[in-house]
């Protein structure tokens, strides 16, 4: 349900705003604010609820990048909750199995689960509420039930044969009572027990909050959760057609820590936009903004074929650079300063012509020669891009949070017996070809699509926003940002505008195919606009209105007014404030 809410934090009884891709998560976050918590407590509570109520979109075995503005620090940080590749995840480990790509499902594609460590670090560094308060909503929904989303039922129907034939632990978890009807009550008592046990281990460390949070982290990465994950992941599949054993070890989990990092950022008009580093695709939005800064988008007009064309062509250039240069900067050199520089983007902008490009054209930042995967020229239908969740929070204290939890989808990997969740498959975003920025390297973070966003306006913290959607996570929110920043549309109106995205670059998901020149676009655009884009050479794929995106946003206006908005496209995103 879409909504737009406005309130003044200085008024008595005002707590803040939460927007999330599920209404129960938004409600849980709002409850934390009403209990005296901060945006950070609210985000973590909402995140844990999302792992329960959207199991086809994210899970406790997945990952989360989080962007935060801390009013106490007057600074923006990235909480990096992205797990790393196992030490045994070498190119040879996959090629010896006859694989030329990391699989898109199964235990072999698992990285270390990073989500739990990410949420715990957020709470430890910035939160104030006890862990019991934060985990209680998720434990309650997992134990007592929540209404099944139609898409959960659809996913379970699609994977039922695999579950019953090859993944018995998943069948036991999700199909004991058959496929739920939309709106029927679903439960996950195993996950409720896991979360309750993590809470029990935390509270056994004594009354001090820091000790409790560290005890919970150890119980997950060095205790009973890690033991169950490693025991299950390394065993052979019960079915010959099931899945290869995984590569995760006890040392991989015990050695992992979420990290606090400095964000990438770019000034654009009177805004400054913050993203994750290039271990994720986040800076690709900044590159698009650097390219678009040379165009008068307001003069082109909302929804015009000229505006859609320019934005699409700039996206192609930025995503080509993503393929050539983005990777884990701890292990490879990423020329981010050059990629975001004015001189580089002034030069790249000259490639935007009147006709749509069907070539993948990375640049030469700082004189560096680009190197693309040899498979990047492969053309074909993209694989299924499993979805994601998103949430944004603004509180009365001036804090902002944008988080994009994902991975550990119920359809991605067999459930770990007794834990109530499965492992993620984020390693599919590595290439097995050597020498690339995003090649598989033991201990490396995959170059993910997960991409929360924060923006300042006139030097002050202003907006948190984002969306699920794989490679579209830096396209759909970009449209909303441009319409709001350039054309002056209110947040909800900007979200409600007709949407589009390119499919030009290789998909980040198995089987990594590209569709050069393809522009997926909602038919809510006028027919004349679609025809004009076709004449410019775009390969149009027309889709139903209200089908592209699940954008949410919160913002703090210059006068202190808080606002929130959510996309009606999914029928489940929600914005709430009090």
pTM of the model: 0.96
Q: In the chain, what are the domain boundaries?
A: 16-61+84-259+407-429, 261-384+450-568
Q: How far apart are the C-alpha atoms of 451 and 428, rounded to whole Å?
A: 17
Distance of CA 356 to the CA centre of its chain: 28
The pairing of strands 391-395 and 400-403 is: antiparallel
- Token output for 196: 């309750």
Burial of 473 (0-12, 13-18, 19+ CB in 10 A): buried
pLDDT of the residue at 558: 85
pLDDT single digits (tens) 445-497? 999 999 999 999 999 999 999 999 999 999 999 999 999 999 999 999 999 99
Omega before 511 cis (within 30°)?
Answer: yes
pLDDT of the residue at 570: 83
Q: Which residue in 101, 435, 498, 158 sits closest to 302, CA to CA?
A: 498
Confidence of residue 411 (pLDDT cuts 50, 70, 90): very high
CA neighbours within 13 Å on the CB side: how many for 113?
A: 32
First to last CA, the chain: 17
pLDDT of the residue at 244: 83
Q: Say yes or no to pLDDT of 243 above 80.
A: no
Say if residues 246 and 103 touch (Cβ distance below 8 Å).
no
CATH architecture of 261-384+450-568: Orthogonal Bundle (1.10)
pLDDT of the residue at 296: 97
Q: Say yes or no to pLDDT of 383 above 50.
A: no
């Amino acid at each position: 349900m879409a909504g737009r809410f406005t309130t003044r934090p200085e008024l008595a009884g005002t707590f803040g705003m939460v927007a999330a891709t599920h209404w129960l998560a938004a409600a849980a976050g709002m409850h934390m604010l009403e209990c005296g918590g901060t945006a950070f407590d609210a985000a973590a509570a909402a995140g844990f609820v999302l792992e329960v109520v959207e199991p086809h979109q994210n899970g406790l075995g997945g990952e989360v990048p989080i962007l935060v503005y801390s009013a106490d620090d007057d600074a923006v940080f990235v909480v990096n909750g992205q797990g790393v590749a196992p030490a045994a995840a070498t190119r040879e480990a996959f090629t010896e199995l006859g694989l030329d790509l990391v699989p898109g499902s199964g235990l072999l594609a698992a990285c270390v689960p990073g989500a739990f460590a990410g949420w715990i670090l957020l709470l430890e560094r910035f939160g104030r509420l006890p862990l019991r308060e934060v985990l209680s909503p998720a434990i309650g929904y997992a134990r007592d039930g929540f209404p099944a989303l139609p898409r959960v039922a659809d996913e379970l129907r699609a994977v039922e044969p695999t579950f019953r034939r090859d993944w018995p632990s998943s069948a036991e978890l999700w199909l004991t009572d058959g496929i739920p009807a939309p709106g029927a009550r679903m439960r996950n008592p195993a996950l409720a027990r896991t979360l309750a046990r993590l809470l029990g281990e935390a509270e056994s460390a004594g009354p001090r909050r820091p000790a409790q949070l560290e005890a919970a982290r150890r119980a997950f990465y060095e205790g009973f959760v890690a033991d169950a994950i490693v025991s299950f992941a390394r065993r052979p599949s019960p079915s010959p057609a099931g899945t290869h054993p995984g590569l995760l070890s006890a040392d991989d989990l015990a050695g992992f820590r979420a990290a606090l990092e400095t964000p990438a950022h770019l000034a654009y008009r009177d805004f400054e936009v913050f993203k994750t580093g290039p271990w994720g695709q986040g800076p690709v939005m900044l590159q698009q903004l650097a390219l678009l800064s040379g165009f008068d988008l307001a003069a082109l007009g909302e929804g015009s074929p000229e505006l859609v064309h320019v934005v699409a062509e700039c996206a192609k250039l930025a995503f080509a650079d993503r393929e050539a240069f983005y990777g884990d900067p701890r292990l490879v050199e990423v020329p981010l300063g050059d990629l975001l520089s004015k001189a580089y983007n002034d030069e790249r902008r000259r490639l935007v012509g009147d006709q749509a490009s069907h070539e993948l054209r990375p640049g030469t930042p700082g004189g560096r020669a680009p190197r693309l995967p040899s498979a990047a020229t492969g053309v074909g239908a993209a694989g299924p891009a499993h979805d994601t969740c998103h949430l944004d929070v603004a509180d009365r204290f001036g804090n902002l949070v944008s988080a994009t939890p994902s991975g550990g989808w119920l359809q991605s990997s067999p459930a770990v017996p007794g834990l109530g969740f499965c492992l993620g498959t984020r390693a599919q975003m590595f290439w097995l070809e050597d020498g690339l920025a995003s090649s598989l390297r033991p201990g490396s973070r995959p170059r993910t699509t997960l991409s929360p966003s924060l923006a300042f306006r006139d030097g002050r913290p202003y907006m948190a926003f984002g969306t699920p959607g794989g490679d579209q996570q830096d396209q759909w929110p970009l449209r909303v940002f441009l319409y709001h920043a350039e054309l002056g549309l209110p947040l909800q109106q900007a979200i409600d505008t007709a949407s589009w995205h390119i499919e030009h670059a290789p998909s980040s998901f198995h089987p990594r195919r590209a569709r050069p020149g393809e522009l997926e676009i909602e038919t809510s655009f006028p027919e004349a606009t679609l025809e004009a884009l076709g004449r410019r050479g775009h390969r149009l794929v027309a889709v139903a209105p209200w089908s592209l995106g699940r954008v949410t946003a919160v913002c703090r206006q210059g006068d202190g007014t808080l606002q929130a908005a959510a996309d009606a496209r999914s029928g489940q995103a929600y914005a709430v404030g009090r």
